[in-house]
A = this chain, B = another copy of it.
Amino acid sequence: MNEIPLDAETKALEAPGDHKSDIRLWLRLLTCTTLIEGEIRRRLREQFDVTLPRFDLMAQLDKVPDGMTLGEVSKRMMVSNGNVTHVVEKLVASGHIDRRPAPRDRRVQIISLTPAGRTEFRAMAKVHEDWIADMFAGLGEKDEAALMELLGKTKTSVKTALDGKFGAKEDRS
């Protein structure tokens, strides 16, 4: 009666419908991200007097030479349009970015780093890169490669689960 059948490998140890190990995995993933993000946020504020959202937005703009539309920034950063509007206002006010209407479509705003903004961002980015490297310093190259690979699988798995809601059969291009 209280014997546990051992015919299904490790999984047999869990009750049916029990996904506790997935929850633990999720919580650990969240903890890692929260730890790193909180520390980066704190250091950016202390050492450069900049918030993480503003830094992230500048990072998107630094990747391109001639600016980007608000919608593209919103998509890349995975945040709402209203959020981008708000952060952009702050960065325009502080002189880090410029904003101009698109030539062919008056609905569209194009934003780009000012020269000063780009210079300042790159100085911060260099230090930021070192912070991240330090935080991952305890992992060897093999570990990092394996983690990268597994997170790639995770991302795919999550996206599949999300798409499933729409019954999508193919890649929405």
A154 to B137, CA, bound (A): 9
Residue-wise interface mask of A (118-146) relative to B, using a CB-CB cutoff of 8 A (1 in contact, 0 not): 00000000000110111111110101101
A78 to B36, CA, bound (A): 12
- Output the least CB separation between A89 and chain B (Å): 23
- Output the least CB separation between A145 and chain B (Å): 9
Residues on A facing B (Cβ under 8 Å):
9-11, 19-26, 28-39, 78, 129-130, 132-139, 141, 143-144, 146-148, 150-162, 164
Q: List 29 A-B contacts (CB under 8 A).
A: A11-B141, A19-B130, A22-B129, A22-B133, A23-B129, A25-B136, A25-B148, A28-B155, A29-B33, A29-B147, A30-B33, A30-B37, A31-B155, A34-B78, A35-B78, A35-B159, A36-B158, A39-B162, A134-B164, A135-B162, A136-B158, A138-B154, A138-B156, A138-B157, A138-B161, A139-B154, A143-B153, A147-B151, A150-B150
Which residues of chain B are within 8 angstroms of A9 by Cβ–Cβ distance? 141
Main DSSP-derived SS at the A contact region:
helix
A25 close to B147 (CB less than 8 A): yes
Which of A11, A151, A155 is packed against the most chain B CB atoms within 10 Å? A151
- Output the least CB separation between A153 and chain B (Å): 6
Closest partner residue, chain B, to A138 (CB atom): B157
Which of A24, A143, A150, A160 is packed against the most chain B CB atoms within 10 Å? A150
A130 to B164, CA, bound (A): 14
